[in-house]
Chains A and B, each alone.
Chain A
Amino acid sequence: QVQLQESGPGLVKPSETLSLTCSVSGGSISSYYWTWFRRPPGKGLEYIGYIYNSVSTNYSPSLRSRVTISEDTSKNQFSLRLMSVTAADTAVYYCARAGYYSSGAFDVWGQGTMVTVSS
């Protein structure tokens, strides 16, 4: 059974870069869409982007200029970098998997990690 676990700093200063890693266990990272989402306090779920087969990426139009998602197949991990953060980037960040179902549904999720942007 595939499991995902997010890790990274829980506090990031404004204007700095937020970096998170998602570790994949119980299965290979190959051939799925590995995705990042977030949920700001009091708000709904927001798509950040995905990586597929290590090189193909897709990002939310609203975050595209600040986001990079990468994959490390040797470690069975993928990562999120979000530059120039502000308080508006404070959220619970989730990693998830799509590609098992043809509809692009996200069937496996990490537990989420809270990231606060504050000086």
Chain B
Amino acid sequence: QSVLTQPPSASGTPGQRVTISCSGSSSNIGSNPVNWYQQLPGTAPKLLIFSNNQRPSGVPDRFSGSRSGASASLAISGLQSEDEAGYYCGTWDDSLNGFYVFGTGTKVTVL
């Protein structure tokens, strides 16, 4: 059901910068703000970025987001071992009376 496309995996060494892309269409990312979620194994998703580039209180400024047209991206700078997790973009889709859509998910590995 995922209508947003992400790379299945990304990796980096501690301290490096990792970028994850999220590609959608005019009915979702092209029209609505993007949110990003982090999911550690066995835990619930955690909101990481909202409204394209805003961080909730408590989220380190190593995480940043951006949106351009029908695509968005999440950047993790100064990669740390605890960043090893799954990352999902998400937004509302205006088609079919509106519904929430997630990306396919990206597994980040810290080498």
A33 and chain B: residue at smallest CB distance: B100
With an 8 A cutoff between CB atoms, is B51 at the interface? yes
Asked if A60 and B50 make an inter-chain contact with CB atoms under 8 angstroms apart, the answer reads no
Say how far A90's CB is from chain B's closest CB, in angstroms. 15
Residue pair B101, A47 in contact (C-beta under 8 Å):
yes
Chain B residues whose C-beta falls within 8 Å of the C-beta of A103 in the assembled complex: 32-35, 50-52, 54
28 examples of A-B residue contacts, CB within 8 angstroms: A44-B2, A44-B105, A45-B39, A45-B45, A45-B90, A46-B1, A46-B102, A47-B1, A47-B99, A47-B100, A47-B101, A47-B102, A58-B97, A61-B96, A94-B44, A94-B45, A96-B45, A101-B56, A103-B32, A103-B35, A104-B32, A104-B35, A105-B35, A105-B47, A106-B47, A107-B56, A109-B44, A112-B44
The chain A residues found within 8 Å of chain B, CB to CB, are 35, 44-47, 49, 58-62, 94, 96, 101-107, 109-112
Find out whether the CB atom of B92 lies under 8 angstroms from the CB atom of A111. Answer: no
Q: Is the pair B2, A109 in contact by a Cβ cutoff of 8 Å?
A: no
In the bound complex, do residue A44 and residue B35 qualify as a contact, i.e. CB atoms below 8 Å apart? no
Given contacts A45-B88, A45-B105, A101-B51, contact A58 B44 (CB under 8 A): no
Residues of A within 8 A of B62 (CB): none
Q: Which residue of A lies closest to B97 (CB)?
A: A58
Digitize B1-36: 1 where CB-to-A-CB distance is under 8 Å, 0 elsewhere. 110000000000000000000000000000011110
Report whether A107 and B50 are in contact in the complex, using a CB–CB cutoff of 8 Å. Answer: yes
In contact, B98 and A58 (Cβ under 8 angstroms): yes
Query: For residue A44, which residues in chain B have a CB less than 8 angstroms away from its CB?
Result: 2, 88, 102-105
